Amino acid sequence: MDRRRHQRAHRQPLAEPAADGHRHEPDHRRTPQRPRRPRRIPHRRRRHRGPLHRRRPQEGRHPVTHDDFEPEQRETLAPHDLPAELATLSSMLLSRDAIADVTEIIKNPADFFRPAHQTVFAAIVSRYLLDEPVDPIVLADDLAKTGDLTRIGGVPYLHHLVQQAPSAAHGEYYAGIVREKAVLRNLQSACTRTLHVIADGTAETGELLDDLRAEVDGIVDDTASGDEDTLIGSDGEDFLEHLEHLQKNGPARGVKTGFTDFDTLTNGLQPGQLIVIAARPAIGKSTLGTDIVRHATIVEGLPAVFFSLEMSRTELKMKIASAQARVALHHLQSQNGMTDDDWTRLAKAWPMINQAPLDIVDDAGLTLTKIRSHCRRIKRKRDLRLVVIDYLQLMEGEMSGRSENRQQEVAKISRSLKKLAAELHVPVIAMSQLNRGAEQRTDKKPLLSDLRESGAIEQDANMVILLHREDAYDRESPRAGEADFIVAKNRGGPTATITTAFQGHYSRFVDMAQT
């Protein structure tokens, strides 16, 4: 009882009405003279305004781009037309004629925005090229075997596709819309990558402009392909002029290599050709590539570029100086190794070497985009006549790290080099490794089948030169100091084996007559 009585005694008094008619609660924490803190207004909930209304990035951060958003948000940003994609695939499922019309416009599955549509398109084209029936049932079977059926939405989705086009006759029109959106996406991606590089602040302005120009030129070339007049009579007058010139002056000579018998056999390296020089390690493929570019630039005065993914710029210049001045390479590389005669020879050859129109790019991370950018820039400055790449297997694919294997990647690089030769209208020489197949044979001679990692190299090349030296396997060989240029493939020309001399101390090959 005493405890309850004590609690009632200390209970807060009820609030009394004030003069203003309002009841105020007593506040024991504040003095009577200090007004009570006004009550806070409840926080107003902000309305979500979507991904395009994000806060502006802080200074120093890269601008908000397409890659900053989640896939579902990205779908609202990248140019695409899903109804047109659905109608295109529907037309292809309804008519084989529509497949022919669509594939004249869309040549790459990546032109479709949705990955599922890319998969379905590739499956349709694959069956069409094999002259097999195309319908949802057989497609479902094919996609189930590859594990893609569930990913695209199963059999119901394929049947859903068939119903999306009002008529198969309009497939070409829908495909045009899909292709147009793909071009816009490619352009958007090129600009986005450029914005990232600008934000990083690591690239030079000239290099940045060249890279962007190369990407845009590639998009333009892809867009324009197929628009030219292909009728046989469209260039009739030009052909007759070419024929008349050929009869009077003989075939146009390409870039000379400096090897007499080889130049006679091939008539030089022609514009648009992809030439592959292949050998096992330490046989001399880099040396042969250096010899060809050295003759073209120093002797013939033709602008060329050498892309070295293996040797540094200094190493390459050492090899060129040794070969041109006939100074032993180990003399150049050793402390106090050069004799007075060496210095005299180098002094005589150096002005020609130093003034040669040769660009050397030593970058272990070269991709086709970088190579194309360099070549375009050089071609604008001076008339580029030869491209040499050492070597093909060291190049990085544009999709490195993706699901495709190395063989597929090398095949894409090979095809891209062939396209580069045609685009620049110059011969492109690519060095390539051979596998160990030759070493298992008694005579150690290489074959076309020894090309490493991809048969596509043999297919894409206009010419394949297999380099062989017996003394690389047997120092006591009676053919020590000799090398064979085995022209194993020469599209439109004869094949043969040409014997030359290998002067390893000068890091060069020469005609047998010069020994």
515 residues of the chain, pLDDT tens digit each: 555 555 555 555 544 445 444 555 555 455 555 556 555 555 555 444 444 344 433 433 333 334 444 454 455 578 899 999 999 999 999 888 888 889 888 888 889 999 999 999 999 988 888 888 888 888 999 899 888 888 888 888 988 888 888 888 888 899 999 999 998 988 888 888 888 888 887 777 777 777 777 777 777 766 655 555 556 666 677 778 777 776 776 666 788 998 989 998 988 899 999 999 988 888 888 999 999 999 999 999 999 999 988 888 888 999 999 999 898 888 888 888 889 998 999 999 999 998 999 999 888 777 787 888 788 888 888 889 999 998 787 877 654 444 456 777 778 888 888 888 988 899 999 998 888 777 777 777 888 887 766 667 888 889 999 999 888 888 888 888 889 999 989 988 889 999 999 998 898 999 887 76
| Ranges in the chain annotated CATH 1.10.860.10 | 82-192
Grouping H, G, I as helix, E, B as strand and the rest as coil, residue 386 is strand
Q: How far apart are CA 235 and CA 216, in angstroms?
A: 28
Q: In this structure, is the dihedral angle defined by the CA atoms of residues 433, 436, 441 and 447, taken in order, positive or negative?
A: negative
How many Cβ atoms from other residues are within 10 Å of residue 127's Cβ? 16
Asked if 292 and 258 touch (Cβ cutoff 8 Å), the reply is yes
Asked if 412 and 384 touch (Cβ cutoff 8 Å), the reply is no
C-alpha closest to that of 290 among 365, 391, 151 = 391
| Ranges in the chain annotated CATH 3.40.50.300 | 253-514
Asked if 428 and 275 touch (Cβ cutoff 8 Å), the reply is yes
CATH superfamily of 253-514: P-loop containing nucleotide triphosphate hydrolases (3.40.50.300)
**How many helical (H) and strand (E) elements, i.e. helices and strands, does the chain have?**
19, 9
> CATH assignment of 82-192?
1.10.860.10
The distance of Cα 187 from the centroid of its chain, to the nearest Å, equals 16
Contacts of 403 (CB under 8 A, 6+ apart): none
Q: How far apart are CA 252 and CA 220, in angstroms?
A: 30
Give the tokens for residue 82.
């899903």
Question: Counting beta carbons within 10 angstroms of the beta carbon of residue 112, is it exposed (0 to 12), middle (13 to 18) or buried (19 or more)?
Answer: buried
Q: How far apart are CA 108 and CA 121, in angstroms?
A: 9
Asked if 103 and 172 touch (Cβ cutoff 8 Å), the reply is no
Give the tokens for residue 304.
């060329």
**Residue 196: CA count within 13 A, CB half-sphere:** 11
The identity of residue 328, as a single letter, is A
With a threshold of 0.75, does the pTM exceed it?
Answer: no
